Structure formats: C-alpha cells, structure tokens
Amino acid sequence: MLLVNSIHMRYSSQARKLHRSSRSGGIIFICLGVLALCSIGMTPEKWRAFAYGVTLVVAGVAVLVGVPLLMRRAVLKMYAKKPDRDSLITYELSEDRLSCKSNVASADLLWRAIQRVLRSADGFLLYVTDMQIHWLPVRGFRDRADLERFAQIAKAKVEDYKDER
C-alpha cells in the first residue's frame, strides 16, 4: 500500500498540488520566522517578536516533516481496515475485461470502467475513480511478454494511458 500510495502521490495531479502546497507553506513559515528573528535586536522588549519568529520556524518545520508522516500513517491505517489485507489477489485480464478475485471479494470490470492507467517501473495503477485504484505489480506477471501484452491491451482500451517508467 505504501508503494502504491507513493506512486499515486508522485503522478496524481491532486497529490502533487497537496505536496506543493504543504512544501510551500512550510517554506513560507520558515522564511517568515527567520525574517522575524533577523529583524529584531535581542533586547528584553523584543522577546515577543522573537517568540513569534521561533514559532513560525517551528511551524514550518512541522509542516514539512509532519505532512508526509501523517500521510504514511493514514495509508497504514486504511490498509489495516481493508478486509483483504495481506491476501493474494488474482487478476485475470482479457481483451474485454478484468476480473479481480480475493478470498473476500471478486469484481468483474469492463475496460471502459477504467478511467486511466499509469505505468511505473514497479507496475500498473488502474484507476476506476481517482480514489479507487487497482495495483498490478510487475512481479505479478509470469514473464516480460505477459507484462508487455497487458501494456498493449491497456494502451488500446484506455484513453488515458501514461507510461512514467
């Protein structure tokens, strides 16, 4: 799940916006804090400005460090709630459809149900919606020929196919 989330966060436009805004916010807080610290003298009357500056720097660092840690925690928490966690999930792929089976559920999808496909070096993300993703790791294919055959079918059947290897 962490790998899938990492790939999704790297290539999803919404995730990139979140990453950019949290990074920008953290840097802005740090810069404002440093400016506040540099603009004051260390006289007893200016301790309040010093405290604001330190608070802004700490807040900036907290945003830069905290957002990735919170995201990781949320992914692990979601994974712990999945009824099929740590289960073998089998996909059967054809020209017409995808079938997905685990020990707790099964699904049969037509290719038109897949909005987009993202190919990374580690595997394929199949997006049914922006938040419902099927993960097909490279190691799940029997051989390189099966992997490339799937890539060709996905490219032909899904309009939004991206290869980010």
Query: Which residues lie across from 92 on neighbouring strands?
Result: 99
Task: Give the span between the Cα atoms of 72 and 6, in whole angstroms.
Answer: 9
Residue 65 has pLDDT above 80, yes or no: yes
Residue 50: partners with Cβ closer than 8 Å, 6 or more residues away: 36, 37, 40, 42
- Domain ranges (residues) in the chain: 2-81, 90-163
Task: Output the pLDDT for position 42.
Answer: 60
Task: Tell me which CATH code domain 90-163 carries.
Answer: 2.30.29.30
d(CA 131, CA 120): 18
Q: Is the dihedral of CA 124, 128, 133, 134 positive or negative?
A: negative
- Scanning the structure block, which residue is given the tokens 């720097």? 57
Is the model's pLDDT at 64 over the cut of 70?
yes
pLDDT in tens, 144-161: 999 999 999 999 999 999
